[in-house]
Amino acid sequence: MRKLNTIDYPGKLCMGLTIAGCNYRCPFCPHAELIHDYIPMEKTSMDDLVQTLRPRLGFLDGVSIDGGEPLLHRGLVDFLKELKFQGSLVKLKTNASRPNLVRLLIDKRFVDYFSVFMPAPLSKYKEVINYRIDVKEIISSIQIIRKSGISHEFRVKPVPGLIEEPELLEIANFLAGAPRLVIERFKPESSMDEEYRSLSAFSEGELKGLQGLVAPYFNETVIRS
């Protein structure tokens, strides 16, 4: 669990939950411990989580869930169902690799806000995530979310030598008209791949330049740590 904040869910006071495990292996991922070393981590059942959260839900607007990739966990649907039963708003961060689950969560109204991470343009997806995936699954999930009427945003992470202007423009063209794009700062020292730890991060000025490049494609763009 993370501290209460109003950043995870724009304008709402939320408790953040991070769930271990991910099907992607992005070299710039800052959460290697959630991927490689999560098996020995203390495991908390969904029931225990609900019991822990219940006293807090009275003064919270909602819960923001990220990972890793939360959609990999079988118990997630029942957990979200219980959160909604308790009257909580739910924000879900996902890589959108499970369109059937995305559709289920939308049909059940178990998610109030989706935050979809786009690690790369579709043309470079497999190269960047180091995972065999049919990009049609990603396209399907994004189409489902965009047509759902549920609040959503997309996230990107510019990385020198990998995700730069051409890649960001390709992503922006694909997502054109979306309500919100969050540009996340790349933190070399936290990268999963040792090779990426020696890179220099984009400066504040460079990030603002990239933001200006893609801003015309979205209703809102923000830079976030």
Q: Name the residue range of residue 81's domain.
A: 2-224
Task: For the chain, list the strands marked E by DSSP.
Answer: 2-5, 14-18, 62-66, 89-94, 113-117, 151-156, 180-184, 220-224
Identify the residue whose tokens are 């043309």.
Answer: 123
* Paired residues of 90 in beta bridges: 63
**Cβ proximity of 89 and 61 under 8 Å:** yes
- Tell me the whole-structure pTM to 2 decimals: 0.92
d(CA 88, CA 92): 13
d(CA 22, CA 146): 23
When pLDDT is averaged across residues 11-33 and rounded to a whole number, the result is 89
Mind listing the pLDDT tens digit for each residue in 35-88?
765 544 455 677 777 777 877 777 889 999 998 899 998 889 999 999 999 899
Q: Is 40 left (phi over 0), alpha (psi -120 to 50) or beta?
A: alpha
Mind listing the pLDDT tens digit for each residue in 189-206?
999 999 999 999 999 999
- pLDDT given for residue 44 in this prediction: 65
Structural domain count of the chain? 1
Which contiguous run of DSSP H or E holds residue 207?
helix 204-214
- CATH number of the domain enclosing 199: 3.20.20.70
Closest residue by Cα to residue 12 from 219, 151, 108: 151
**Cβ proximity of 138 and 125 under 8 Å:** yes
